[in-house]
Structure 1
Amino acid sequence: MYEMRASTQEDRREITLLIAARELWMDDRGLDAGITDPEALLAAVGKTSEGRPLVWAFCEDGKILGVALLVVETLAAWGWKTTKHDNAALVMTATYTHPGYRHDRIGRFIAWWALDYAYRECEVPWVRRFTSSARLMRYFRDEQGWELVDIVTRSNFRVYLMQRRAEKIPGMAAFIR
């Protein structure tokens, strides 16, 4: 069974190695990481905001297979048009998965968990994410059901702003604790 748990300071080394493995895997394949900020994720390990953990670890048998930095905010600074999207959302600002488990679709499980968590715990109507990778945008949209809301320019990158309604995912508790 998988577990999604709050990260702790003791996880920092394992998370650092996971991010390094992912970045090396992407570099070896010529894949563009786009806008990423692993330092922001690492700085948030073990910390909370408004009583909620910031970095969550997706684990199996105690091994961290993926991590996500989740914050509740409006994302106005990223170009979300506040008149249309002014309500707070759970934002997946960074997600890293171990490349050795890529066939297990860990990122999809993390996203499903985030949708369910936002519905159950955060009292927000949306889960939002962004990427500067057209390949990832198509995957999130076509395979995971995310809505492409807008495309903005940030730091000379095209950034795809995406969202899904927070929702209860049936059977989640039986699959991910």
Structure 2
Amino acid sequence: MRPAAAGDQDPIADMVRARCAWMRERGIPDWPRTEADVRIVASQAADPHFPVWVLTETEQIIGCTTVFTKTPEWGWTPEELQESALFLASSFTHPDHRQHQPGRLMAWWALDRAARDGITWVRRGTFVERLMAYYRDVQGWHLVHTPQRKGRTAYLMARRAEPIPALAELVKDSGAPLG
């Protein structure tokens, strides 16, 4: 895992296109829907306001996620907002590498990194119920809130940060600062 760079925009766009096509083939609602949406996601790799991290395998980008060091204010209680947390957003993985479970590896990296950095929680959200169920049932996230956001149900989830001892054998952390 390493911070994304401006030169990662095209590989990220290719990965997002592949993921969206894979999801459409399975009838899973997807976003981004248009090429303009894909370019917005990819352009975040070059935007200092979007702390995008990439998971690579022999230099090929097989996953990306945005790792905010602050939880978005909407949908969380004032008490929760006072707790230290990382917030994962805009996570995508390449479907050709799903046998390695890159989404799980990125989540484990975030949980482990947060624990090493003294952060209490890792949070994430999605608008896709099937994705929420996967995060909950397969990856062990806890559904915390289901607020309405822009006319849609948001599924806000959390896990307490924890060391993942086996992770060091699976994912190399660049050690770059999170924020």
TM-score above 0.5, yes or no: yes
Per-residue CA deviations over 1:27-46 (Å, capped at 9, x if unaligned) read 22221126897555433314
Decide which of 3, 19, 24 is 1:22's aligned counterpart.
19
Asked if structure 2 preserves the Cα contact closer than 8 Å seen for 1:32 and 1:133, the reply is: yes
State the SS of the aligned residue for 2:136: helix
- Across the aligned residues of Structure 1 and Structure 2, the Cα RMSD in angstroms comes to 2.1
Q: Normalized per residue, which structure has more strand? A: 1
1:130 paired to 2:125? yes
For residue 120 of structure 1, what is the aligned residue in structure 2?
116
1:109 paired to 2:98? no
State the SS of the aligned residue for 1:68: strand
Give the Cα–Cα distance (whole angstroms) in 1 for the partners of residues 140 and 31 of structure 2: 21
Aligned residues: 169
Asked if structure 1 preserves the Cα contact closer than 8 Å seen for 2:13 and 2:41, the reply is: no
Give structure 2 stretches of 5+ with no counterpart: 173-179
For residue 45 of structure 1, what is the aligned residue in structure 2?
45
Asked if structure 2 preserves the Cα contact closer than 8 Å seen for 1:35 and 1:132, the reply is: no
For residue 7 of structure 2, what is the aligned residue in structure 1?
10
Give the Cα–Cα distance (whole angstroms) in 2 for the partners of residues 118 and 40 of structure 1: 27
Decide whether aligned partners of structure 1 residues 113 and 55 sit closer, same or farther in structure 2, where only a CA change above 3 A counts.
Answer: same
For residue 90 of structure 1, what is the aligned residue in structure 2?
86
Decide which of 140, 143, 157 is 1:145's aligned counterpart.
140
* Paired letter, 2:84: A
1:176 paired to 2:153? no
State the SS of the aligned residue for 1:94: strand
* Paired letter, 2:139: Q
Name the % identity.
Answer: 37
For residue 65 of structure 1, what is the aligned residue in structure 2?
62
State the SS of the aligned residue for 1:138: helix
Asked if structure 1 preserves the Cα contact closer than 8 Å seen for 2:122 and 2:158, the reply is: yes
Asked if structure 1 preserves the Cα contact closer than 8 Å seen for 2:66 and 2:88, the reply is: yes
Per-residue CA deviations over 1:9-48 (Å, capped at 9, x if unaligned) read 1111101111111112212222112689755543331454
Decide whether aligned partners of structure 1 residues 40 and 73 sit closer, same or farther in structure 2, where only a CA change above 3 A counts.
Answer: farther
Q: Could you list the runs of 4 or more consecutive aligned residues of structure 1 that deviate by over 2 angstroms after TM superposition?
A: 33-44, 46-49, 83-86
Give the Cα–Cα distance (whole angstroms) in 2 for the partners of residues 64 and 82 of structure 1: 36
1:100 paired to 2:96? yes
State the SS of the aligned residue for 2:79: coil
* Paired letter, 1:69: T
State the SS of the aligned residue for 1:13: helix
TM (norm. structure 1) is 0.86
